[in-house]
Amino acid sequence: MSPNTFTQEEDAEEAEFVSKTRRKKDMHALQELGEELVALNKDRLAQLDLPESLLDAVKEAKRITKFGALSRQMQYIGKLMRDVDPEPIRVKLAEWAGQSKELNAKFHRLENLRERLLENDGAFSEVVEQFPQADLQRLRTLIRNARQEKIANKPPKSSRALFKELRALQDGGEVEGDDEEAEE
């Protein structure tokens, strides 16, 4: 055996060698990714292309309440994650996190606009410019009622209705359903 061959074999072994610390970090990262999967709702979970065994393990983890059992289940999920390419999952989770931040920013802008409308009349002209299709009479009525409710310490029914109206204007249509939790 020539000296060059020996060093090439050593180089190949070193290239394949991964330290125990690195492997443990990788396993913990996969387990943390599994924890993010467990935190997802069933609709988002269904959108991911997960193997059936992993999907079943995640669903089972959602049902477990005991800490020790949940810890073992999370380790099992981490083990199953080793057979899955985690990158598409990470990309999708990052995409959802970005969408969530966009929605939160949108709601904060609407809340600020609603507060400005309730505090002074100057913001009303801004809404008229921004949303020419708005029903101005309805907006004025909601603003007036919300101000009266605030003074009388009544529940903010009109304030919520004003928020929904602004959201419908921003989205360009009618908002269906009762989404009061989304504004808070």
**Are the C-beta atoms of residues 65 and 14 closer than 8 Å to each other?**
no
Question: Would the pTM count as exceeding 0.85?
Answer: no
Spatial distance between the Cα atoms of 53 and 2, rounded to a whole number of angstroms: 49
Kindly state whether residues 129 and 77 are assigned to the same domain: no
Segment 75-132, tens digit of pLDDT: 999 999 999 999 999 888 888 887 878 888 888 998 999 999 999 888 888 888 888 8
Q: How many angstroms separate the CA atoms of 166 and 144, rounded?
A: 15
Same domain, 113 and 175: yes
Same domain, 105 and 74: no
Look at residue 7 and tell me if it is in a domain. Answer: yes
Range of the domain at 166: 101-183
- Find the mean pLDDT for residues 52-67: 94
In the chain, the percentage of residues whose pLDDT exceeds 90 is 51
Give the Cα-Cα-Cα angle 88, 62, 96 (nearest 5 degrees).
Answer: 35
Q: Look at residue 92 and tell me if it is in a domain.
A: no
CATH of the domain at 179: 1.10.60.30
The count of domains in the chain is: 2
Asked whether residue 91 is assigned to any structural domain, the reply reads no
Residues 24-38: tens digit of each pLDDT: 998 899 999 999 999
Query: Cα separation of 140 and 135, whole Å?
Result: 9
Mean pLDDT over 156-172 rounds to 89
Q: Decide if 68 contacts 89 (C-beta within 8 A).
A: no
Region of poorest pLDDT, from 50-59, 165-174, 175-184: 175-184
Q: What backbone torsions phi and psi does residue 39 show, to the nearest 5 degrees?
A: -75, -15
| Contact assessment for residue 126 and residue 166, using Cβ atoms and an 8 Å cutoff | no
Residue carrying structure tokens 């079943």: 56
